[in-house]
Amino acid sequence: MTDTNTLSKIQEKARRLLEDGKVEVVIGFAAGTVPGKSTPSFISAKEDCESLVWDNGCSLNLAKYVLKEKRKAAIIVKGCDSRSLVNLITENQIKRENLYIIGAACPLSASCAGCQVKVPVIYDELIEDGSEIREVSTIAERRYDDVLEFEKLSAEERKAYVYGEVSKCIRCYACRNVCPACYCKECFAEKSLPQWIGKTTDIGDNLIFHLIRALHVAGRCVDCGSCQRACPMGVNLRLLNHKLLMEVGSLYQFEAGLKEDQILPLNTYQYDDPQPFLAKGGGHE
């Protein structure tokens, strides 16, 4: 929980930005209608800033909305939202100067396991509440317990687990649509001319969807957890995300969304890139 002081500072900042005409809209959260869920709110009248909340229900990654926003906007971000913004800036999807970023420490009472970036990494104004601000250089390479446990299982057990998870999926694409890293105008999952994957929830089609989704966000996923929270069927999406975070970490010593000048390893290519899968000799045994 955050203290009311943080919230009133956020509201005050939002109100001033609208009043001074610095922005036309403030993207934040308002109280929801379902227990435990706050709801994204787009505020353009300064009187409405009082409806802003900053609480346990603010788990969604708001960076997604910046992609569509055409007005001059301010956005209220926690750690992971700010990291997604960094990604979107480095990938030329949004312009930093069009955005006013109000940063505040993550208000979730139970933060995600292993989260090291509760306080935003970029902001125009940081609402300080005494939370520890991590220097990027002190962020340790990720070791995810769920992956380490999973890796101990036998091949059959791993297959059974993944099949079990993936077969729950109803292909509603909420995991894709909440994710700020998923912004393709045309997604392979919905392409029809030609069709890339079948529109069934057969295990084959579901597996392909899940593997491609995970691979497409590899090196860009900031582990905000929005995809998993959005999933109505309780599919464990984070396991695959975590595995790829670990791979990207060990192959490229890279973690997404920390610095505005970082180069995304999977978006670049150099002739002498190591190719470990070929180095082993390539081909089939």
Partner 1 sequence: MIYQIRKDDFLSWLKKQREGKKVLVPTRKEEGYLFLPWVGDELDLREYTNTLKPVKDVFFPQWETLIRYRVEKEKSGEIVEETSRTEPLILFGVRPCDAKSIKLLDNVFDGEKYKDPYYCQRRKNTLIISLGCRELGPTCFCQNIGINPLSSEGSDILLVEFEDRYLAQSGSDTGLEILEQAPFTPAESKEQKIFDELNGNPARLNEAEFRSLALNNMPDFNDSVWEKLYQKCLNCGICTYLCPTCHCFDISEMTLDSEGKRVRSWDSCMYSSFTLHGSGHNPRPTGKERIRQRIMHKFNYFPQNYGVIACVGCGRCVAECPVNFDVREALKLLGVWKDDLQL
Query: Which residues lie near partner 1 (CB under 8 A)?
Result: 32-35, 37-42, 60, 64-65, 168, 170-174, 176-178, 190, 192-193, 195, 198-202, 226, 229-230, 232-234
CB 213, min distance to ligand SF4, A? 8
Q: Select from partner 1, ligand SF4, none the partner in contact with residue 32, using the beta carbon and a kind-dependent cut-off of 5 to 8 Å.
A: partner 1
Residues in the chain: 285
Q: Which does 169 bind (CB under 5 to 8 A by kind): partner 1, ligand SF4, none?
A: ligand SF4
Tokens of 79: 């750690």
Name the phi and psi angles at 43, rounded to 5. -105, 125
- Report, in Å, the least distance between residue 227 CB and ligand SF4: 3
Residue 145 contact, options ligand SF4, partner 1, none, Cβ 5-8 Å cut-off depending on partner type: none
Look at residue 2 and give the partner it binds from partner 1, ligand SF4, none, a contact being a CB closer than 5 to 8 Å depending on partner kind: none
Nearer to partner 1, 25 or 258 (CB): 25
Q: Find the DSSP H helices in 117-154.
A: 145-151
Q: Where are the beta strands (DSSP E) in the chain?
A: 25-31, 38-43, 52-53, 73-77, 99-104, 125-127
C-beta pairs of 225-229 under 8 Å, 24+ apart in sequence: 225/59, 225/80, 225/112, 226/59, 226/60, 226/61, 226/64, 226/178, 226/179, 227/174, 227/175, 227/176, 227/178, 227/179, 228/175, 229/59, 229/60, 229/178
What element of type H or E holds 8? helix 4-19
> What is the Rg, in whole angstroms, of the alpha carbon atoms belonging to the chain?
20
Distance CA 237, CA 8 (A): 35
Residues found near ligand SF4 in the complex (CB under 6 A): 61, 169-175, 178-179, 181, 217, 221-227, 230-233, 235, 237, 241
The answer to whether residues 219 and 252 touch, using CB atoms and an 8 Å cutoff, is: yes
Percentages of the chain per state (helix, strand, coil), in multiples of 5: 40, 10, 50
221 binds, among partner 1, ligand SF4, none (CB under 5 to 8 A by kind): ligand SF4
Q: Which does 64 bind (CB under 5 to 8 A by kind): ligand SF4, partner 1, none?
A: partner 1
Q: From the CB of 15, what's the least distance to ligand SF4, in Å? A: 28
Q: Least distance from C-beta 3 to ligand SF4, angstroms?
A: 27
Sort 124 into a burial class: Cβ within 10 Å, 0-12 / 13-18 / 19+: middle
Q: Which residue type does 252 have?
A: Y
Q: Give the residue with the Cβ less far from partner 1, 232 or 251.
A: 232
Pick between residue 45 and residue 67 the one whose CB is nearest to ligand SF4. Answer: 67
Q: Which is nearer to ligand SF4, 94 or 217 (CB)?
A: 217
Which of residues 139 and 170 has its CB atom nearest to ligand SF4 in the complex?
170
Q: Cβ of residue 208: shortest distance to partner 1, in angstroms?
A: 13
Which of ligand SF4, partner 1, none sits in contact with 139, Cβ below 5 to 8 A by type? none
C-beta closer to ligand SF4: residue 9 or 176: 176
Task: Compare residues 8 and 39 and give the one whose CB is closer to partner 1.
Answer: 39
